[in-house]
Structure 1
Amino acid sequence: MKKFIFFKRKTSGSIARERLKILLLSDRMNFTSDITEKIQRDLIRCISKYLDVDEKGMQIRFEPPGKNQEADSSCIKATIPVRNMKQRR
Structure 2
Amino acid sequence: MDLLKIFSKNNTNSKTVAKERLKLVLINDRADISPKFIEMLKSDITRVVSEYMVIDEEGFDIKLTRTKRESDDAPIPALVANIPIVKVKDKNIK
Task: Please tell me the TM-score bracket, short chain as reference.
Answer: 0.5 to 0.7
1:27–1:86 Cα change, 3 Å: farther
Q: Deviations over 1:57-81 (max 9, x none)?
A: 100111134xxx1115321211110
The two structures have a TM-score, normalised by structure 1, of: 0.59
Structure 2: how far apart are the matches of 1:63 and 1:57?
18
Gaps of 5+ in 1: 1-25
Over aligned residue pairs, what C-alpha RMSD do you find? 2.0
Amino acid aligned to 1:47:
V
Structure 2: how far apart are the matches of 1:49 and 1:59?
18
1:77 equivalent to 2:80? Answer yes
Gaps of 5+ in 2: 1-27
Match of 1:58 among 35, 60, 63: 60
The structure with more radius of gyration: 2
Match of 1:36 among 23, 35, 38: 38
How far is 1:86 from its partner? 0.4
Amino acid aligned to 1:51:
M
Percent identity over the alignment? 26
Where in structure 1 do 4 or more consecutive aligned residues deviate above 3 Å?
26-29
Structure 2: how far apart are the matches of 1:75 and 1:51?
24
Structure 1: how far apart are the matches of 2:30 and 2:66?
8
Greater fraction of residues in strand: 2
Structure 1: how far apart are the matches of 2:78 and 2:58?
22
The two structures have a TM-score, normalised by structure 2, of: 0.56
How far is 1:32 from its partner? 1.5
Q: Deviations over 1:34-72 (max 9, x none)?
A: 11100000000111110100111100111134xxx1115
When the two structures are aligned, how many residues end up with a matched partner? 61
